[in-house]
Copies of this chain bind each other. A is one copy, B any other.
Amino acid sequence: MISAINSEIIPENWYNVIPDLPEPLPPPKDSKAEFSSINLLNKILPKEVLRQEFTFKRYEKIPDEVIEQYEQIGRPTPLIRAKNLEKYLDYGGKIFYKFEGATATGSHKINTAIAQAYYAKNEGVNGVTTETGAGQWGSATALAASLYKLPAQIFMVKVSFIQKPLRKIVMNLYNGNVVPSPSNLTEYGRKILSENPDHPGTLGIGISEAVEYALDHDYRYMVASVMNSALTHQSVIGLETKKQLELIGEHADVLIGCVGGGSNFGGFTFPFIPDHPDTEIIATTADEVPKFSKGDYKYDLMDSAGVLPEVRMYSLGADFVPPTIYAGGLRYHGASPSLSLLINKGRIKSDEVNQEEVKNAIRTFANTQGIIAAPESGHAIATMLNYVKAHKNEKKTIVVNVSGHGLLDLSIFQ
């Protein structure tokens, strides 16, 4: 994109919601007496990421080298008025969508991956490592590492590794080393394989393997979502959206996004919290993962393996296993602590949609706007369509975050 225009839209600082929460955020805590997860974070996260995790500062300067890479991978992403959809719905209000699918890796994940890889590189480590389920986060990690010339070791849940060979190709094109997890690269993986060579893998096992690999190889662990630093980096989405709306003289009455761990949602909506008290904010989850309506607001494990700390959040239980749904990214049992607090205090509302609504929403969005949304983003679009139906005569300005494209998920329509 044109640099002159970019420089007006990409923010200079990320936004951290912590100081603007209605009450202090309950801190993370260790779940076991014999092992400190919080000490572990000191060893596996880049120092700067760890600092950002616990800071009360409202703004964090985005390093110039990160802004440069944001521009390289397609930021600012477009904010488009969905005029065809407005006509199709015969809606007198306005519908805008922010399209994170326009980034090089096709989703918002790259926004925090670039930041974390940059800080890791700066600290002179040997590489970065992470786990990935469907592969979106692995792709973002692989590209971000490649941009800063760091090796990336990615542990991909074995069943996804087999079912989604295209994602593996993408990670390889980005110079990422990908192995099915459990793998023989770690002691933990080898132990599981010796007990069951056909173990299909889980995200929890992947996290444990990545953490062990980081400790053994002086790599740093990359955090996909849930943790506050990731949400801070993702604030680039909402800050751009605010600026883009401002440039065309629009005010968001309603913001809608989907929630897996909460990073695209928090990144998109939190920058509106301090100065848009009247803006309605809606978080969509899948019917099958009803964390806000059926989950408890309590301290719970972030990961089923218990490697990472406990946090206070809405949770269906760390061992919750949802039915298979199209949107792999929405299967997480909990939601970021800051988002959970804002839901608990009533500042943010929640909604749940079912798989049929999601498929129909993706269809409608595709044949009016041309964009084939990711199944995760399809949830936000479904909520938006329902909202328009329910508020037909109110002429609101609705902004929905389409967190990714669905071009590697087309098989759900087969």
Instruction: Name A residues whose Cβ lies closer than 8 Å to a Cβ of B.
Output: 1-5, 9, 68-69, 71-74, 78-84, 102-106, 110, 143, 146-147, 165-166, 169-170, 172-175, 244, 247-248, 362-363, 366-372, 407-408, 410-411, 413-414
Contact = CB atoms under 8 A, between A and B. Distances in A.
A126 to B, nearest CB: 19
Contacts of A74: 78, 80, 102, 370
Contact of A169 (B165, B174, B414): B414
B102 A84 contact: no
A72 B407 contact: no
29 contacts: A2-B248, A4-B247, A4-B248, A71-B80, A72-B80, A72-B369, A73-B369, A73-B370, A74-B78, A84-B147, A102-B102, A103-B370, A104-B369, A104-B371, A106-B407, A110-B370, A146-B367, A147-B370, A166-B410, A166-B411, A170-B372, A173-B362, A173-B363, A173-B367, A173-B372, A173-B413, A174-B366, A174-B370, A175-B367
A110 B370 CA distance: 10
Contact of A1 (B79, B146, B369): B79
A91 to B, nearest CB: 15
Nearest to A1: B78
Nearest to A405: B407
Contacts of A72: 80, 82-84, 369-370
Most buried by B among A78, A165, A363, A414: A78
B413 A172 contact: yes
Contacts of A172: 413
Contacts of A247: 2, 4
Given A165-B414, A174-B367, 13 more contacts: A1-B80, A2-B79, A73-B370, A74-B370, A102-B102, A103-B370, A143-B367, A147-B368, A166-B411, A170-B372, A173-B362, A173-B366, A173-B413
Label chain A's interface by main secondary structure.
Answer: helix
Contacts of A143: 367, 370
Contacts of A81: 3
Contacts of A407: 106, 407-408
A139 to B, nearest CB: 10
A97 to B, nearest CB: 11
Q: Report which residue of A83, A103, A104 has the largest number of chain B beta carbons within 10 angstroms of its beta carbon.
A: A104
Given A72-B370, A143-B367, A370-B147, A410 B169 contact: yes
A159 to B, nearest CB: 19
B79 A170 contact: no
B146 A368 contact: yes
Nearest to A144: B370
A370 B71 CA distance: 11
Contacts of A103: 370
Contacts of A2: 9, 79, 244, 247-248
A148 to B, nearest CB: 10
Contacts of A170: 372, 410
A244 to B, nearest CB: 6
A5 to B, nearest CB: 6
